[in-house]
Structure 1
């Protein structure tokens, strides 16, 4: 029989800082890797995460729940939608996103945390800080 695993959201296994305007905390909970994103007003994936990801759009699959604030998603195919508190969404790869309004957007991601906002390692790049 397996053992229960209990963690505090504020005690992440790893913290990945965006270029600015937020951060993503990663929690390893058994076989599940959860992410908690904190997106400050003015945050946009294409400005604050794209330089870390090195892709034209976000290529991570997200299954997330918005806890507070609002986020606008624009898919590569042109589809657009807003998410707000209590919304649960599946977002396939190929999108941009940005915070709507002046409130911090907080979200829990159940599928995209493993690779989200992970800095690519090049000659002039350093790894993201880890809380391990």
Structure 2
């Protein structure tokens, strides 16, 4: 039976910091939800790749874009910019970067569990 829970990003379960940003993680029920706060100059391939240890982000994402503009390039070459009010579903295999001088805030409903966490042999899909 599902129970009522109330959590807030004002007091996240975990905060993972990295150059030019942070991932705030909330554990709610059996799920983890992330709020990614990415500062101007942030790029996954520069700031998170050294943590993940993979050539591109291998974490799939289902995200709501709250603030700022995020450039995204899939490994197949598909490229676009997501902005406030957009929802993106990204399979594994991508790079991303902040476009412009406004911080990006994204709520990630799917890919936050292991994002920006060092890859391990039994769980290589962390991006």
Q: When the two structures are aligned, how many residues end up with a matched partner?
A: 120
In the other structure, the counterpart of 1:40 is 39
Give 3-state SS (helix, strand or coil) of 2:50's partner.
Answer: helix
Structure 1 gaps of 5+ residues are 122-132
1:83-102 to 2 correspondences below 5 Å: 83-102=82-101
Q: Distance in 1 between matches of 2:57 and 2:98?
A: 15
Query: How far apart are the structure 1 equivalents of 2:85 and 2:31?
Result: 21
Normalising by structure 2, we get a TM-score of: 0.91
Residue 4 (structure 2) pairs with residue 4 (structure 1): yes
TM-score (norm 1): 0.88
RMSD across aligned C-alpha pairs, in angstroms?
1.0
Runs of 4+ in structure 1 off by over 3 angstroms are none
Gaps of 5+ in 2: 121-127
Name the CA distance, whole Å, in 2 between partners of 1:76 and 1:91: 11
